[in-house]
Structure 1
Amino acid sequence: MLSMLSIRDVVLIDRLEVNLAPGLSVLTGETGAGKSILLDALGLVLGSRSDARLLRQGCDGAAVAACFRISHNHPARAILRESDVASGDDDIVVRRIIGRDGRSKAYVNDQPVGVTLLRRLGQALVEVHGQFESQRLLEPAHHRALLDAFGGHAAEVEACIATSRDWRQARERLARVQAEMEVAARDEAYLRDALAELEKLAPQPGEEADLAARRALLQNAEKLITAVTDAAQELSGGRGAADILRGVLRALERIAPKAEGRLEGALAALEHALSEVSEAEAVLERTLSDADLDPRRLEEVEERLFALRKLARKHNVPADALPRVEGELAERLAAITDGADTVQRLGAEAAAAEKVFRSAALRLSQARQACAARLDAAVAAELEPLRMGKATFRTRLTPLSEDEWGEHGCEAVEFEVATNPGSAPGPLARIASGGELARFMLALKVVLAQADPVSTLVFDEVDAGIGGAVADAVGERLARLADEVQVLVVTHSPQVAARGHHHWRISKRVVDAAARTHIEVLDEAGRTEELARMLAGARVTEEARRAARSLLAGSSAC
């Protein structure tokens, strides 16, 4: 509910702060006192268009703030969460500031927001009838949810949402596999040729790098073999290092017995050197006999390497990814083979999901049909006392085409009205603006009070053009509606004003040679005097006061 409205420098208002309470609050005052200014100011925080003409004369800016006290699961909090605006569990504070040029800035909980978000938030928090161009109940987009809430169709709606989701997912799976099969079938010849080519080459992970290294080695094989051959000749050829070492050993070994051990170290070193030379000879021999150094293998390695790279370019992947490509092609070919069975299975699943959805949607449609009749009758019962008994209200359910079926069921819902006998029902917006539309909306809101999440309703001169018993009926319905939601009503009718739980009088005063709008919370005596003024006009008589006290007593008794 709206708990506080603060206004600064808007038209005739310099400073004004109003604390609001639950129930029915009535605003009265003479024409031109500034009641519409309050609604204009409220409209600013609800997202209506800003205008420099709203600034009080001589001021550089205007500001309006409103505080809303709502439940933790109120739809407004979901709107804020979607927009990454902190909502928490505390009150929601909305501010709108207008500059001299008419441009405005908006804030929710001190976080800057756009006017579009402000308008969405405002539609979830407050509904205004009779003053603003846009009224939520006039928009068919909201009618289906209101009908379902009125009928208590939560279980049927949830079942429809869940089964619709399952059916949609089943159809998407089927369509995806069918599309894949169509593409695969068109490319089957290519797939088979490409797979055969890959299977023939049989690429291995890391093979390209290995072949490139072997190719680099083989490109220098002749030089390497020549160098190794020359080295081997130096080691083991005639008068090579090995022969020289053996000759030196033989010479020293002959004289060693006579050297009394002095040559033992030298002999050991020479034997070790000869062993290392022999090991080097063996390594060089193995190198010369290594098949990988055969220059004739260079062509074979290059042919394999170039074939890998060519195939990689053909598939536009690195050479190391060719084994993966081979597996994917094999899977796609297998899908063609197994696709018919898969399509048949998924088709059966989609058909079963559709059957379940149709059953859930039918239950929801039947519930809506029965509920529509009850809603029509309930609204008709409210119209008669409001002097709109000749008007006809109808909830129209229009079947949707199958491609429009979804989580909301299989029909569109729209509230329609015919205000004149014999005329065909049409959209609610056809009703003439002003009091007639406001009274019709009052009847509808009374019936839908518990179904609609909007917790604050504002009626601007809902009693226009009526009086007596009709005005009393309007007041009685406003009071009844206020048992469910917070209601604010601007009224010129004493019968309506007498029903209020809270009464504010709006007046215009001249302060420092300038007109100012003033708001006053009335006590019992003040209410009596205000109702007497509304009954009698400029000159309040004692008879008018007695009539006012009678109205208040009668309203209290009710």
Structure 2
Amino acid sequence: MLTQLSVRNFAIVDDLTVDFEHGMSAITGETGAGKSIALDALSLCLGARSEAGYVRNGADKAEICASFHVEALPRVQAWLEERELDAEGECHLRRTITAEGRSKAYINGAPAPIALLKEVGSYLVCLHGQHDHHQLMKPEHQIKLLDQYANHPQLQTSVEEAWHTWNDLQKEQRQLRQAAEQNLARKQLLEYQVNELDEFSLQPGEYEQLEIEHKRLANTTSLQDDALFALNSLFDGEHNNAYSLLESVNTRLRGHQALDARLSPMVTLLTEASVQIEEAVRELRHYHETLEADPLAFEEADQRISEALQLARKHKVQPEQLPELHQELKDELANISASSERLERIAEEISKAESRFLSAAKKLSASRSKAAKTLDRQVVEVMQQLNMPDGLFVTAVRQLPLQEASRNGIDVVCFEVSVNAGQKPQPLQKVASGGELSRIGLAIQVLTAEQDGLPTLIFDEVDVGVSGPTASTVGRLMRRLGESNQVICVTHLPQVAARAHHQIQVQKTTKSGVTYTSMQALSEKERVNALARLLGGDTITPNTRANAEELLAG
């Protein structure tokens, strides 16, 4: 539950700290005193949109802190622990807004995005505003309220998940069909191109090797002539071949080593050179013997290169890029073929997903219909208490055609009402006046809030348009709700405020031309005076005081 709210430099609030208790707390004060300002500040801690105009004139920034006791809320504790924000049974939300409009948020002291404030806030507080009854006329809000009252989140989750699966599969099928139409011509072209490249089957690196082999075969005669010339020059020539000349020089110098030892390294080098020439000659002789003109091999290489060049020009790539292109085209064809196969399989998946959705939706629909009967009975009871003795209320749950289903299931919900005897119930928006709509809306808000499971319920002047005995009934309803939940109610009605377990008074003062708002928890004696002012204005008479005491005692 909400334990404390601290507000600094927010609107006309300078520095304000309010402690809240379990049960029903009524916030009262004169018109214009700013009774709703604390709730506006709290809404920022729950992720509401911020504006620079919220910052008090002359201040650099506004700061709002809300503290909640969550020891008895396992869902909130698990949420905090999952995000490593646990604070031993406490949840502290903080929001700052600079005069330039920049906003920052914190959860248990750690910086957090606004989306997280909204998420955790949805587990902590439910805020009912004075204009919520206008929302009541919208079908989407009516089904939301019925689900809230029925309190079947697991059924809703099952339906929503099944709907998303079914919807996603249908969307995929539409995309596949569209792609299949667009890819038909492309697939035919790809099949032709891949078959053509399959037949040619040029391997990675093969074209480069073909070019090398083609050049060698084209120059076989030149290679043979030059190899033979090298053999003759180095060894086989009758006169002055390199080996003979080297041996002659080495023989002469070797004979002089005894005369000059400095010749020894040169003799060694020359000896090694002779050995190298002999080795080179052996290799050259083998090379020359293997060189043989091969017109057929040359023709085959020439033909393959020509075909590669022709295919490369056709596909506008370099010849050596043909293997890579071949693989890309095969992959694209495989993807198109896989899409075609997927299109054939997806119809069965859609059928199964539709069945799962329909099964889950029917369970949700049955739960709604069951809850609707109970809600109708309870709303009628409250309507009668709220000065509508002949009131009838019917929650019509009708099933939609399957093609109109949504994440909410297969139902459309319509609240129907009759406020006069003998009148057939009709849709709420057609027959209820403003005052009647306000009272019916209040009845539904209170009843659905009892089922909501949220620890803190806030009602911001939802009793507008209510007076007299009806106001007393509203007060009793709020107090009943406060027995099991923390209820904070902003009200201008003494009959409602008197039923509260606690009362907080809002006052607005002006000092030196500057406006200040303050909030103070009232004692029992102070409550009598506050209620007397609500009953009779600024002048408290014995009669108004007696009436106030009677209200508190009742």
Q: TM-score range by the shorter chain?
A: 0.7 to 0.9
Matched, 1:320 2:323: yes
Residue in 2 aligned with 1:107? 104
**Distance change in 2, residues 1:463/1:160 (3 Å):** closer
Q: Show CA shifts across 1:277-303 (max 9, x none).
A: 554334223433556986986665455
Q: Aligned equivalents of 2:329 and 2:537: distance in 1?
A: 95
Superposition map of 1:143-542 within 5 A:
143-168=142-167, 171=170, 185-187=184-186, 189-215=188-214, 224-234=223-233, 235-239=235-239, 241=241, 244=244, 277=277, 279-290=279-290, 300-301=300-301, 303-305=303-305, 307-308=307-308, 311=311, 318-322=321-325, 324-325=327-328, 327-328=330-331, 331=334, 345-389=345-389, 393-397=393-397, 399-400=399-400, 402-413=402-413, 415=415, 424-427=426-429, 432=434, 439-452=439-452, 455-509=455-509, 511=511, 516-535=516-535, 537-542=537-542
Q: Residue 34 of structure 2 contacts residue 508 of structure 2 at CA under 8 Å; is this kept in 1?
A: yes
Q: Aligned equivalents of 1:134 and 1:9: distance in 2?
A: 32
- Greater CA deviation, 412-421 or 30-39? 412-421
Shift of 1:65: 0.8
Q: Aligned equivalents of 2:539 and 2:140: distance in 1?
A: 49
- Greater CA deviation, 523-532 or 387-396? 387-396
Q: Aligned equivalents of 1:373 and 1:343: distance in 2?
A: 45
Q: Aligned equivalents of 2:390 and 2:380: distance in 1?
A: 9
Superposition map of 1:31-110 within 5 A:
31-39=31-39, 41-42=41-42, 47=48, 50=51, 52=53, 59-60=58-59, 63-69=62-68, 71=73, 73=75, 91-97=91-97, 99=99, 104-109=101-106
**Distance change in 2, residues 1:272/1:126 (3 Å):** closer
Amino acid corresponding to residue 150 of structure 2 in structure 1: G
**Distance change in 2, residues 1:440/1:45 (3 Å):** farther
Q: Aligned equivalents of 2:381 and 2:137: distance in 1?
A: 20
**Distance change in 2, residues 1:298/1:527 (3 Å):** same
Q: Residue 208 of structure 1 contacts residue 319 of structure 1 at CA under 8 Å; is this kept in 2?
A: no
Q: Aligned equivalents of 1:438 and 1:76: distance in 2?
A: 38
Q: Aligned equivalents of 2:304 and 2:23: distance in 1?
A: 89
Q: Residue 76 of structure 1 contacts residue 124 of structure 1 at CA under 8 Å; is this kept in 2?
A: no
Amino acid corresponding to residue 501 of structure 2 in structure 1: H
Shift of 1:167: 3.7
Q: Unaligned regions of 5+ residues in structure 1, if any?
A: 253-265
Q: Secondary structure at the match of 1:526?
A: helix
**Distance change in 2, residues 1:142/1:92 (3 Å):** farther
Q: Residue 27 of structure 1 contacts residue 505 of structure 1 at CA under 8 Å; is this kept in 2?
A: yes
Q: Show CA shifts across 1:51-85 (max 9, x none).
A: 75x776x635662514152557459979xx9xxx9
Q: Aligned equivalents of 2:348 and 2:62: distance in 1?
A: 62
Q: Aligned equivalents of 1:363 and 1:466: distance in 2?
A: 39
Shift of 1:228: 2.1
Q: Secondary structure at the match of 2:452?
A: coil
Q: Secondary structure at the match of 2:198?
A: helix
Amino acid corresponding to residue 7 of structure 1 in structure 2: V
Q: Show CA shifts across 1:295-352 (max 9, x none).
A: 986665455345436545655773332553575478579779xx68x76554334323
Amino acid corresponding to residue 495 of structure 1 in structure 2: Q
Q: Aligned equivalents of 1:417 and 1:520: distance in 2?
A: 41
Q: TM-score, normalised by structure 1?
A: 0.74
- Greater CA deviation, 278-287 or 127-136? 127-136
**Distance change in 2, residues 1:27/1:176 (3 Å):** closer
Shift of 1:425: 1.7
Residue in 2 aligned with 1:256? none
Q: Aligned equivalents of 1:314 and 1:419: distance in 2?
A: 83
Residue in 2 aligned with 1:261? none
**Distance change in 2, residues 1:292/1:499 (3 Å):** farther
Q: Unaligned regions of 5+ residues in structure 2, if any?
A: 253-265
Shift of 1:453: 5.9
**Distance change in 2, residues 1:303/1:390 (3 Å):** farther
Q: Secondary structure at the match of 1:519?
A: strand
Q: Secondary structure at the match of 1:239?
A: coil
Amino acid corresponding to residue 425 of structure 1 in structure 2: P
Q: Aligned equivalents of 1:217 and 1:516: distance in 2?
A: 100
Q: Aligned equivalents of 2:357 and 2:303: distance in 1?
A: 61
Amino acid corresponding to residue 488 of structure 2 in structure 1: L
CA RMSD in angstroms comes to: 5.0
**Distance change in 2, residues 1:441/1:372 (3 Å):** same
Shift of 1:239: 3.2
Q: Residue 160 of structure 1 contacts residue 409 of structure 1 at CA under 8 Å; is this kept in 2?
A: yes
Q: Residue 181 of structure 1 contacts residue 335 of structure 1 at CA under 8 Å; is this kept in 2?
A: no
**Distance change in 2, residues 1:55/1:166 (3 Å):** closer
Q: Show CA shifts across 1:504-540 (max 9, x none).
A: 1223445457664332211222223333444455444
Q: Residue 170 of structure 1 contacts residue 350 of structure 1 at CA under 8 Å; is this kept in 2?
A: yes
Q: Secondary structure at the match of 2:488?
A: strand
- Greater CA deviation, 309-318 or 229-238? 309-318
Shift of 1:124: 7.1
Q: Aligned equivalents of 1:483 and 1:410: distance in 2?
A: 36
Q: Secondary structure at the match of 1:91?
A: strand
Amino acid corresponding to residue 208 of structure 2 in structure 1: A
Shift of 1:201: 0.8
**Distance change in 2, residues 1:218/1:43 (3 Å):** same
Q: Show CA shifts across 1:127-161 (max 9, x none).
A: 54455689876765454444334324344334434
Q: Residue 446 of structure 2 contacts residue 477 of structure 2 at CA under 8 Å; is this kept in 1?
A: yes
Shift of 1:207: 1.6
Q: Residue 504 of structure 1 contacts residue 522 of structure 1 at CA under 8 Å; is this kept in 2?
A: yes
Q: Residue 442 of structure 1 contacts residue 478 of structure 1 at CA under 8 Å; is this kept in 2?
A: no
Amino acid corresponding to residue 155 of structure 2 in structure 1: E
Shift of 1:476: 0.9
Q: Residue 236 of structure 1 contacts residue 242 of structure 1 at CA under 8 Å; is this kept in 2?
A: no
Residues paired across the two proteins, number: 527
**Distance change in 2, residues 1:49/1:2 (3 Å):** same
**Distance change in 2, residues 1:158/1:123 (3 Å):** closer
Shift of 1:92: 4.2
**Distance change in 2, residues 1:143/1:395 (3 Å):** same
Q: Residue 245 of structure 1 contacts residue 270 of structure 1 at CA under 8 Å; is this kept in 2?
A: no
Q: Show CA shifts across 1:143-185 (max 9, x none).
A: 4444334324344334434544554465567666656665665
**Distance change in 2, residues 1:243/1:296 (3 Å):** farther
Q: TM-score, normalised by structure 2?
A: 0.74
